[in-house]
Structure 1
Amino acid sequence: MSFPILQKYLTRLSGATCAAGAAGETSSIWLDHEGRAQGRFFNCTMSSAFQPIRALDSGAVAAYEGLARSVSAQDRGLSLWKLLDHAASDNESIELDRLCRMLHSINFFRQADSAPNAAADLYLNVHDRLLSAVSSNHGHAFRRILDALELPLARVVLQLPVATPQQGWLLNYVSDNYRRNGFRFAVNVDSAQDAIGILDRLRPDVFKFDTRVLHYTDGLLALLRRTQEAGVAVVFKRIESDQALQTLRELGAAAGAPLLGQGYLLDEPSATLAGAAPQPQAAAA
C-alpha cells in the first residue's frame, strides 16, 4: 500500500470495536474481520459499496462512486441514506454525510492501489441538505481528514446535487469553496439546457445526467461538443437497458466525445473494487 499513514490508522482501528451507544455517541468507526471500515449512525451499522464509472467506448473503469450500505453477510446491504437522512436533524445530517465520506475514503484507498485500475477516482456525494446546512467553509473539514491520512485530494470528486433556480447562488458559493479547498467537483443536472447555464458560470469538472429522464436532443449533442472543448467529463448514471447504452454510444460517437457511464446494467455496487476487464455489456460495441 502506498498510503503509509492510512495503514497506520487502519492498524489502530483493527483493535477498535463499536463504541456507539455505550457512551451516548451516534457514530464511530472500526474494522470488521475482513478489514473493511464500518460505522454506526443512530442504531444502524453501515459500510461502503462502490459502483464503477466506466468509459462507454472501451468499458475501462475510470472511477467509482462511494455508496453507503447496511452491513450484510452477502455484500447485499441496503441503501441507508434516505432512511437515515429523513430521521436526522440538519446537524445530524452533516455528521452522517461526513461519516459516509470518511468510510468511503478509507475503504476505497485501502484497496485502490492493489486494484488493476489503480489510478481510478473516487466520487463522493454531497447531499442537498448540506448545501444550506453548512455555514462554514465547505470542504475544509474533509480536506483536513484527507491531509491527515495523506490521501490524494486530486483523486476525489465531490458530486453536487441538482439545484433549483432559486438555489443557483448557493451552488455558486459551495462549488467555489470546494475549488478553493482543492477539490474537483461534479454537478448533477436534469437537462442540457441547465448544464449550458452552469458550464460557464461554475466551470465544473464533471456533469452527471440521469439516463432514465434524459431527452436526446440536438441541445444535448451541442452540449457534449462544448464540454469536450472545455475538458469537462460527462457521466450518464442509472444505465439500466441495452437500448439506453447503445443510444449513449451513438451519441458519444456523433459528438466526438468520450462518455462515461454507470448503472446496474454495467455493474452492481460492491464492497470490492472491480477488475480492469470491462463487463460484457460494456465491451460489446
Structure 2
Amino acid sequence: MTYPVLKQYLARLSGQDSTTTSIWLDADGRAQGRFFNCTMTSAFQPVRELARGGVVAYEGLARSVSAADEGLSLWRLLDHAASDDESVELDRLCRMLHAINFFRQDDNAGADLYLNVHDRLLSAVSSNHGYAFQRILDALDLPIGRIVLLLPTVTAQQGWLLSYVADNYRRNGFRFAVNAASAREGLHLLERVRPDVMRLDARGLADEAGLAGLLERAAQAGTRVVFKRMETLEALQALQRIGAASGQALLAQGFLLDVPRTALLHAGETLAAAA
C-alpha cells in the first residue's frame, strides 16, 4: 500500500469491535460500516476502454453484507425509509467506505474512482458541496485527483442547482460526471457545466450519428464519455459502429463486461479480458 496515513488508520480499525464503532475491518481486511441495522461494504464495477479492454476507472457501489444474500443495493433497501438528513449521512458513509476499500488495494493501478452522489444531497446540503468529503480525503492523505463524483440526473427546472453544485465540487478540487439522456442533452451539458466525465445509457443508442458528433465535441472539450449499463451484444455492436464513425476510443461499463465485486482486477485479469 502506498498511502501510509491510510495504512495507519486501517491498523487502528483492525482492533475495533463492530459493536462500538461505525466502521471496522472484516477478516479479509475490507472496511465495513453500519447504517440503521444494515451492515454494508463496497463493490467495484470497472469502466473499460472498449477496444483494448483496459480498466480506466471503477465505480464504487454500496452492498449489504449478509449470509442470506449476495449483497443487495443499500439504496434500494433504505432510500424510502431514510429522511433527507439520514440519506446525506448514508451518502457520505458510502463514499468514505469506497475510498478506503479502493485505495487499500494495490491493484487500483492508477485507475480513477467514481463515486455516486445521491439526488437528495443536492437539495439537503445548503452550501459548499464536497467540503466534508474533501476533509476526509485530506485527513487520510488520499489523492482527490483520482476521484470523480457522479452527479445525479436532474430535471430541467433543477438546471441551476446542477450548475451550483458542480461549481462547488470543482472549487473543492473534485472532478465530476453528469448523466445525459441523449446526444442533444449531452451537447447542452458540455456548454453549461463543462463536466470532466459524461455518462450515457448504452440501452438507448438509436441516434448513432448524433452520438458520434457528441464524442467529437467532448474530445475537444477534454470530457470523457462513458457508456454505462452495457448489457447486450446489440449495445456492444452499436457502440462499435459509433466508435468507428467518430474515430474515438470508447469507454464502457456494464454487466456484459464485468459484474461488481469487492476485489479489484489483477493485471492478468485485465489483459485476459482485453484479449
Normalised by the size of structure 1, how large is the TM-score? 0.92
Partner-residue secondary structure (3-state), 1:223: helix
Instruction: Give the letter aligned to residue 40 of structure 1.
Output: R
Deviations 1:90-135 (A, max 9, x none): 0000000000000000000000xx21x5100000001111111111
Deviations 1:218-248 (A, max 9, x none): 2222111101111110001111112211211
Q: Is the contact made by 1:190 and 1:214 (CA closer than 8 Å) also made in structure 2?
A: no
1:36 equivalent in structure 2: 30
Instruction: Give the letter aligned to residue 143 of structure 2.
Output: P
Alpha-carbon shift at residue 180 of structure 1 (Å): 0.2
Partner-residue secondary structure (3-state), 2:48: strand
Instruction: Give the letter aligned to residue 19 of structure 1.
Output: T
Partner-residue secondary structure (3-state), 1:213: coil
2:244 equivalent in structure 1: 253
Q: Does 1:85 align with 2:79?
A: yes
Question: In the alignment, which of 249, 254, 258 is matched to residue 263 of structure 1?
Answer: 254
Q: Is the contact made by 1:56 and 1:258 (CA closer than 8 Å) also made in structure 2?
A: yes
- For the aligned residue pairs, the C-alpha RMSD in angstroms reads 1.7
Q: Does 1:70 align with 2:64?
A: yes
CA 154–75 in structure 1, closer or farther in 2 if over 3 Å, else same:
farther
Q: Does 1:59 align with 2:43?
A: no
Alpha-carbon shift at residue 136 of structure 1 (Å): 2.4
Distance in 2 separating the partners of 1:268 and 1:76: 12
1:23 equivalent in structure 2: none
Q: Is the contact made by 2:183 and 2:207 (CA closer than 8 Å) also made in structure 1?
A: no
Alpha-carbon shift at residue 279 of structure 1 (Å): 7.4
Distance in 2 separating the partners of 1:3 and 1:127: 28
Instruction: Give the letter aligned to residue 274 of structure 1.
Output: L
2:102 equivalent in structure 1: 108
1:17 equivalent in structure 2: 17
2:122 equivalent in structure 1: 131
Question: In the alignment, which of 36, 45, 50 is matched to residue 39 of structure 2?
Answer: 45
Normalised by the size of structure 2, how large is the TM-score? 0.95
Distance in 1 separating the partners of 2:4 and 2:224: 31
Which consecutive residues of structure 1, in runs of 5 or more, have no partner in the other structure? 21-26
Instruction: Give the letter aligned to residue 228 of structure 1.
Output: A
Q: Is the contact made by 1:45 and 1:70 (CA closer than 8 Å) also made in structure 2?
A: yes
Question: In the alignment, which of 151, 155, 158 is matched to residue 160 of structure 1?
Answer: 151
Deviations 1:25-65 (A, max 9, x none): xx810000110000000000000000000000100000000
Distance in 2 separating the partners of 1:123 and 1:77: 19
Q: Is the contact made by 1:267 and 1:279 (CA closer than 8 Å) also made in structure 2?
A: no
Instruction: Give the letter aligned to residue 72 of structure 2.
Output: L
1:169 equivalent in structure 2: 160
Tell which deviates more after alignment, 74-83 or 203-212: 74-83
Distance in 2 separating the partners of 1:28 and 1:93: 16
Q: Does 1:228 align with 2:219?
A: yes
Deviations 1:140-181 (A, max 9, x none): 000000000000000000001111100100000000000000
Distance in 2 separating the partners of 1:131 and 1:259: 29
Distance in 1 separating the partners of 2:42 and 2:91: 13
Q: Is the contact made by 1:53 and 1:261 (CA closer than 8 Å) also made in structure 2?
A: yes
2:7 equivalent in structure 1: 7
Distance in 2 separating the partners of 1:133 and 1:84: 17
1:205 equivalent in structure 2: 196
Partner-residue secondary structure (3-state), 1:86: coil
Aligned residues: 274
Distance in 2 separating the partners of 1:61 and 1:74: 31
Which consecutive residues of structure 2, in runs of 5 or more, have no partner in the other structure? none
Q: Is the contact made by 1:6 and 1:150 (CA closer than 8 Å) also made in structure 2?
A: yes
